[in-house]
Structure 1
Amino acid sequence: GDVRFHCPRFFDKDRPYYPITFPTPASFIQVPGLPLQNQLSVNFTFRSLDTSGLLLFSNFSEGAGWLEMGLSEGQINISFQQTGKKRLEFAAGYNLTDGHWHSVQLLARMDSVVVVIDEKEDSPVRINHALRVQTGDQYYFGGCPSSVRNLGCFSNVSVFHGCMQRIHVDNYLVDLELVKRRKLGRYAEMLFNTCGITDRCTPNLCEHGGICLQTSENFVCDCERTGYKGPTCHNCE
């Protein structure tokens, strides 16, 4: 007979990748997933200069628990909460808030969780742990909308400030153009088709070998061992 396959409406294999920016404390995107699956798969790339921020939050179906992924001190912290069980928490990666693009792949099954950072063969973190994975129907990236903070998204992690692209949920590429046109999911205070991060350390304004350190809002110069002081290491000690 005539057999046809239909991809979910949020998948478009021909859509080119482009970045999105989370510029304010109210920024977030919410996209659909495939509910009631016993395997959870999420991967995306991100870029940030802030040491902390919420990357992902999703509730499991039927009140089975939730998944949270956030940045903390340059690492990715992953938390799985299952109803009636002790929370599973672990970290992966290092120096991930250096302003460069980094990729994250997470795969959770009934008996294990695997996280791969930057597609490096030596980077996978595998946690063997009994999980009741039952995917929900919504995924939140970058922050929680205040209107559902106590319902669909209730993370206490600070909001993410940075950029994302190549977002895949349950093995499907999220069509960010549909999100932008408000035909898929929803969002608030987002910038599309751009990565609006300012690199305040290029060029390096720190003089005499000072080390430039930056966040999304400002930069400071580490003048230690230079023999100079001042905002840009320009004054003799």
Structure 2
Amino acid sequence: MISFTLGALPVLKSLFIEGCINLKSILIAEDVSQKSLPFLRSIKVWDCNELESFPPGGLATPNLIYFAVWKCEKLHSLPEAMNSLAGLQELEIDNLPNLQSFVIDELPNNLQKLSVGSVGGVMWSNEPTWEHLTCLSMLRINGDDMHLTSLQNLEIINAPKLESLPKKGFPSSLSALSVTRCPLLEASLRKKRGKEWRKIAHIPSIVINNELITRVLFGLIHQIIVLSQGSARM
């Protein structure tokens, strides 16, 4: 099978394509190009290394809830107009070494769960904004080639339903974390204990709603001053 046409099964609710080694494209039938596929709720594409593209213009699936793409080595882009999928609640992408871009600003507002694994190309837009993702409750970032090894400052703003941070925490290069208007996450971080705190305890400067809650940075500065004074006396 070289291509699969959405619309060939008009009342299909769930589509799972796995291990189709010759699949190059997913299309939309011409007779439904101006219509939509209202029954389709879930799309999973896994281990299709020849897949290069999705339908031009995006997916005609207004009621899609779940979309996942894993292990598709030649795929260079996600479907167009992702923000038109107003009902999308969960998005998972992983092992896409040739993905050229992934723009946070173009994700649908109602997205609740986002999981991003190993991807290539340009991971984020230059200045991603998260303010529109007001329903996001779970963010998972995984993979060893995420190009985040030099990340130093991170801000999480206005995510009222966000409860947890990435499972593996943040890179050791991160020196400052700011969390603003994220009440559920703030509640667990202010306790300075538990699994969420352990993910960020190594970060020198942590600010919650403009309040510095850790003074590791100042402790390090104090130690440097003491050592310097000791050296001067010698």
| Normalised-by-shorter TM-score class | under 0.3
Q: Which has the higher contact order (CA 8 A, sep 6+)?
A: 1
More strand by share: 1
Superposition TM-score, scaled by structure 2 size: 0.21
Bigger helix fraction: 2
TM-score with structure 1 length normalisation?
A: 0.21
The structure having more radius of gyration, on CA atoms, is 2
